[in-house]
Structure 1
Amino acid sequence: MAESIDESKNVELTDDDLANKSKGQLIKMAGQLRDRRNDLNQMASERASKRDELNAKTREKVDEAQEHREKRDELNEQVQEHKKQRNELNAKANELFDKVDGLKDDLELNDGKSVDELKEEIEDLEFKQQTQVLSTEDERELIEKIETKREQLEERKSKLDQSGDLEDVKEKAKEVRAKASEHHQKVTELADEAQEHHNQMIQAYREADDIRDEADEWHEKFVDAQEAADRHHEDFVRVQKRLREMDKKEEQSREQNREQKAEEAKREAEEIYQSFKDGETLDTEDLMKLQKAGLL
C-alpha cells in the first residue's frame, strides 16, 4: 500500500504572502509550488497506474469466475440429463423385474426348493441308503423319499425349461439396471466436477473482491495526490498572476519615469534654446541636449 502524502513537503501560500512578499520571494515560492506540483502529479500518475493495474486484475478474476460459472452450469445440465436417463432406466428395470416376479409366480418358481437344493438332498438320502443298515420298513420309506425328491427335481427342471422367457426378461432387466448404474456414476462424477468449478468460482469472486478493495484504496490515494497537486497548481497560478501584476506595475512605473524624464529634458532643452536665442554661448553638452530634443 502506498504511503500517505508527506504534508511537510507541501508548500503553503496565504493571501498575506501574495500581498506582502517581495517579487524575489514570490519567484522562489512559484518555483517551489511548481516543483511540488510536479512531484504530486507524478505521485498521482503512479497511483493511478497501480489502481488501473489492480482493476485489470479484478476484471481478470471476474472473467475467471464467470468461466467457472459457465462450466458449472454446463456440467449441472449434463447432471440433470444423466439423472433423467438414470431414472427412466431404473423405472424400466423395475418394470422388468416385476415382470420376472410375475413369471416366477406363474411358473410357481418362487415356491419350493431350487434344483441344486433338491439334488443335494437326493445325494444325502442315497448316501444314507448305501451306508446305513436299515430295516425293511425304514429302507422302503427312504426309497419313497428319494423317489419323491426325484419327482420334485424333474418337475422343477421342467418348469425351468419352460422359463426361457423369464431368463430373457431377467437378463434384460439386469442390462437395463447396469445402464442405469452407469448413468448414476456419471451423475456422481459430473456433480463432483460441477462442485469443484463452483468452489473455484466462489474463490475467484472472493479474490476479485479483495483486489477491488485494494484498487479502491489506491484510487483514494490517487485522489489525495491529485487534489494536492491541483491545489499547488492553483497557488502557482495565483503567484504567477501576482508576478505579472507586479511586472505590469513596474513597467508602468518605468514608463512614467521615462515620460517624466522626457518632459524634464524637453523643458531643459527649451531653456537652453532660449538662452541660445538670447545670444548665450552653448557648450557641447548643451548642443547634444538640443539635438536630442530635436531643436537643432
Structure 2
Amino acid sequence: MVTKQEVLSEFDVQELDEARNIDLPDEKLESGSKGELIKLAGQLRDRRNELNQMASERASKRDDLNAKTREKVDEAQKHREKRDEMNSQVQEHKQSRNELNAKANELFDEVDEMKSDLELDDGKDIDELKEEIEQLEFRQQTEVLSTEDERELIEKIENKREELRQRKDKVEESGDLEELIEEAEEVRSEASQHHQKVTELADDAQEHHNQMIEAYREADDIRDKADEMHELFVEAQEAADRHHEDFVRVQKRLRELDKKEERQRKDSRAEEREAAKAEAEEIYQKFKEGETLETEDLMKLQKSGLL
C-alpha cells in the first residue's frame, strides 16, 4: 500500500506546512482593531490563494493518475478479450483435432483389418526382404564357400525371393490398402496440425493472460496513488476553504466596524447640528433684544437660516 510520503516524493508534491496556516481566534475577531483585522484579512486571503493553488496542482496530478489507471484497465481488458478469443480458437482446434484423430483411428483400424485379411501382418515387409536378399547375394559373391555351403546359400536366396514374390503378390491383391493407408496418414497429419495450433494458441492465450494480470496490478498500484493524491487534494482544499471562511468572517466584521463608524459619524454630525442650532437661537435672541452682534455671530445666524 502506497504511503503519503511516497506519493509526495514520487510526484514532487510540496507538503502542506500547517505552521504557515493563519488562525482566527474569536477574541481577536471581536476585539481586534480595524487595522489589525485588515492585516489579518490580507494574510488569510494570501494563504487561501496559496492553498487553492496547491489543491489545484494536486487535483491535476490526481486526474492524471486516474487517467493512467483507466488506460491500464483498458489495456488489461484488451488482453482479456484477446485471451478469450484465443481460448475460443483453442477449443475449436481441439474439437477438430479430436474429430480427425477419431477418424484416423477408424481408418487405421480398417488398415489393420485389411492387412489381417490379406495376411500381410505375418512375416517381413518388402523392403526388409529386399535388403536380406541383397546381403545374401553379396555374401555369395564375396565369400569363398564350400559346395555344400554355397548350395544352402543359393537355396536360402531362392526362398527369400519366393517370399518376396508372394509378399508383392499380396500387396498387389490388396487393391485399396495403400490408398487407405495414405488417407489415414493424411488425416492423422491434419490432426497434428490442429494440435500444433492448439499448443501455439494456448501459449499466446497464456501470454495475454499474464499481461492482463500485470496490467490490472499496475492499474491497482496507480489507483492507490490516485486515491492518496485525492486525500492530499482534500487536505489542501479543506485548509483553503477554512481560510476562505475566516477571510469572509473578517470581511464581515470589517463591514460591521465601517457601519459602526458611519453611525458614530452621523451621530457626531447630528450633535454638532443641535449644538449649532442652540447657539444660533441664543444669538438670535440677543439680536431680538437689540444687542450688537459680531460678524461671526451674524454668519452663524445666516448659516442656521434664522436670519
Cα 1:161–1:245 change in 2 (3 A) is same
TM-score by length of 1: 0.93
Q: How far apart are residue 202 of structure 1 and its match?
A: 1.1
The separation in 2 between residues aligned to 1:200 and 1:66, in whole angstroms, is: 10
* Residues 1:24 and 2:35 are matched in the alignment: yes
Cα 1:256–1:152 change in 2 (3 A) is same
**1:53 partner letter:** D
Identity %: 74
Counterpart residue number, 1:285: 296
The separation in 2 between residues aligned to 1:177 and 1:31, in whole angstroms, is: 89
Question: Secondary structure in 1 aligned to 2:283?
Answer: helix
* Residues 1:254 and 2:265 are matched in the alignment: yes
Q: How many pairs are equivalent? A: 294
Counterpart residue number, 1:235: 246
TM-score by length of 2: 0.90
Counterpart residue number, 1:134: 147
Question: Secondary structure in 2 aligned to 1:164?
Answer: coil
The separation in 2 between residues aligned to 1:47 and 1:129, in whole angstroms, is: 100
Counterpart residue number, 1:264: 275
* Residues 1:53 and 2:96 are matched in the alignment: no
Cα 1:270–1:121 change in 2 (3 A) is closer
Q: How far apart are residue 197 of structure 1 and its match?
A: 1.2
**1:174 partner letter:** E
**2:89 partner letter:** Q
Q: How far apart are residue 281 of structure 1 and its match?
A: 1.0
* Residues 1:85 and 2:96 are matched in the alignment: yes
Cα 1:182–1:34 change in 2 (3 A) is same
Counterpart residue number, 1:159: 170
Counterpart residue number, 2:191: 180
Cα 1:117–1:199 change in 2 (3 A) is closer
Q: How far apart are residue 128 of structure 1 and its match?
A: 6.8
The separation in 2 between residues aligned to 1:241 and 1:125, in whole angstroms, is: 125
**2:304 partner letter:** A
Match of 2:202 among 180, 191, 198: 191
Cα 1:22–1:167 change in 2 (3 A) is same
**2:43 partner letter:** Q
**2:146 partner letter:** V
Q: How far apart are residue 163 of structure 1 and its match?
A: 2.0
Question: Secondary structure in 1 aligned to 2:147?
Answer: coil
Which structure 1 residue ranges, 5 or more long, are not aligned?
A: none
Q: How far apart are residue 139 of structure 1 and its match?
A: 7.2
Q: How far apart are residue 145 of structure 1 and its match?
A: 4.7
Which structure 2 residue ranges, 5 or more long, are not aligned?
A: 1-7
Task: Please give the root-mean-square deviation of Cα atoms over the aligned residues, in Å.
Answer: 1.9
Counterpart residue number, 1:65: 76
Summarize deviations over 1:17-69 as a string: whole Å, max 9, x none. Answer: 01221110011001100111111111111111111111111111111111111
Q: How far apart are residue 120 of structure 1 and its match?
A: 4.6
The separation in 2 between residues aligned to 1:242 and 1:126, in whole angstroms, is: 129
The separation in 2 between residues aligned to 1:71 and 1:124, in whole angstroms, is: 61
Counterpart residue number, 2:222: 211
